[in-house]
Homo-oligomer: A and B are copies of this chain.
Amino acid sequence: MRNILAVGSLAFDSISTPAGKAERVLGGSLNFFSISASFFNPLQLVGVVGEDFPAEHLKFLSSRGIDIAGVSTMPGKTFHWTGEYGQDLNEAITLSTQLNVFEHFNPQLPEKYRDADYLFLGNIAPELQMRVLEQVRKPKLIAMDSMNFWITGCRDQLLKVLPRIDLLTINEGEAKLLAGESNVILAAEKVLAMGPKALVVKRGEYGAFLFFQNEIFSAPAVPIRKVIDPTGAGDTFAGGMMGYLASHGVGLERDALRKAVLTGAVMASYTVEDFSFRRLQKLERHEIDLRLEELQRTIRV
């Protein structure tokens, strides 16, 4: 079994959506990513939490085959994001970002992590993503996520990381912003020219595009009748993808990537059905398989 090494944020989220509110629930890219991927494959996490972070949650992660040796507890408070969604559930509005202990996060990999086969650089500063990249020896596949904040604020550092990764997962608005291009296909082509060998453009309820070797895979989203909270959908998506690839021991291979994208879409579809990762915590493997089969049926001709 190959390990997935993941770095990202462990956080509290306060969220308001048309369906309700959730105050100070657990979130952060690393939480969503790792819980999602853990349905398929073991993980190793690198992250930081404050003294207010619940110990039982770290225990919960451990119980799911997630190695938390690389998660350090620092004096101070845990990262806290506050955001809301309007009728357009595809886009979050950030109301406040309290970095807290995350402000001085300097990811240090335990020695045993340096041989990871699959590396996921969650949505953190590109400079920190680079530091993690420099500590791993020879991963089979490197994927990363980013967001508007880094695309606008740390563009130069981001452009240094992109040529060193295999797979970039960003959403449609981020791809257009990064490329400076309003057509999504042209934007994707420009982003690929920045270095990543494959690109997943997430489009919320409209599915996702996979761009790889001059081919486009147009992945549908799972048709969802009631979206409660889209927070974490993107990281859950990435977790499903990486979990699929790692558990099959494959890297950048066309057919496997396409199935990985569908797996990501299925995992994301469960996340949005409740606040935080509540739905994922109750999720069972047979439900994943069922929805994956249903999703494949929606594109069968």
Q: List A residues at the B interface (Cβ < 8 Å).
A: 87, 182-186, 203, 205-207, 209, 215-218, 220-221, 223-227, 255, 258-259, 262, 296-301
Contact = CB atoms under 8 A, between A and B. Distances in A.
Contact of A186 (B218, B225, B259, B296): B225
A298 B255 contact: no
A292 to B, nearest CB: 10
B298 A218 contact: yes
A225 to B, nearest CB: 5
A205 B216 CA distance: 14
Work out how many copies of this chain go into the complex: 2
Contacts of A227: 183
**Nearest 9 CB-CB pairs, A to B?**
A218-B220, A206-B206, A218-B298, A299-B299, A185-B223, A258-B301, A185-B225, A216-B298, A216-B223
Contact of A301 (B206, B226, B262): B262
A298 B225 contact: no
A224 B209 CA distance: 13
A218 B87 contact: no
Contact of A183 (B207, B218, B225, B255): B225
B185 A224 contact: yes
Contacts of A183: 224-227
Nearest to A295: B218
Nearest to A204: B206
Nearest to A186: B225
Nearest to A221: B218
A267 to B, nearest CB: 16
A261 to B, nearest CB: 9
A127 B291 CA distance: 42
A192 to B, nearest CB: 14
A217 B182 contact: no
A296 B297 CA distance: 14
A255 B301 contact: yes
Contacts of A225: 183, 185-186
B215 A259 contact: no
A262 to B, nearest CB: 7
Nearest to A223: B185
Contacts of A255: 301
A150 to B, nearest CB: 24
A296 B129 CA distance: 37
A286 to B, nearest CB: 20
